[in-house]
Copies of this chain bind each other. A is one copy, B any other.
C-alpha cells in the first residue's frame, strides 16, 4: 500500500484548482449554475478573454466543468459544473473562511469591491 497519499493527491488537487482564476470561475459557477462566456467576462472584469478560455478549457478537460455549444449565430456556449466540480465547493468555502479569519487577525484590509 501507499505510504502516504499526501504529496501526490494534494498536488493533484492544487493543480486542478490552483492558479489565478480557476477558483473564482468555479465560485461563480457554484453561484449561478450556468454561465456564458460573456457573462463570466462581466463577472470577472480583470480576466482577459485568453485566460478565461484557457482556464475553462483546462477545467473541461479535467472534468470539472461542462461545455455545451448551441449551433446558432451569434454563437452561444454554456458552462456548468460537473459533479467533480461541485464537490470542490466545500474546499473553496473553507479556504475563504480561513482567509477571512486570517485577515481579521492580521488586520489585513482587503478591498474587494471590483470583484
Contact of A12 among B3, B13, B99 (CB under 8 A): B99
Q: How far is B24's CA from A80's CA once the two chains are assembled, in angstroms?
A: 32
| Number of chain copies forming the complex | 2
- Check B101 against A91 for contact (C-beta < 8 Å): no
- Check B95 against A91 for contact (C-beta < 8 Å): yes
Stretch at the interface among A33-41, A49-57, A71-79, A104-112: A104-112
- Check A88 against B84 for contact (C-beta < 8 Å): no
Mark each residue of chain A from 20 to 51: 1 if its CB lies under 8 Å from any CB of chain B, else 0. 10011001000000000000000000000000
- Check A112 against B5 for contact (C-beta < 8 Å): yes
Residues of A bordering B, CB below 8 Å: 2-14, 16, 18, 20, 23-24, 27, 63, 84, 87-88, 90-92, 94-96, 98-103, 105-106, 108, 110-113, 115
- List the 9 closest A-B pairs by CB distance, nearest first: A9-B99, A8-B112, A13-B99, A8-B110, A13-B95, A12-B99, A9-B96, A10-B23, A91-B94
30 example contacts (A-B, Cβ-Cβ < 8 A) are as follows A2-B112, A2-B113, A3-B113, A3-B115, A4-B115, A5-B96, A5-B99, A6-B96, A8-B110, A9-B96, A9-B99, A9-B100, A9-B110, A10-B24, A10-B95, A10-B96, A10-B99, A11-B20, A12-B99, A12-B103, A12-B108, A13-B95, A13-B96, A13-B98, A16-B102, A84-B102, A84-B105, A87-B101, A88-B98, A91-B98
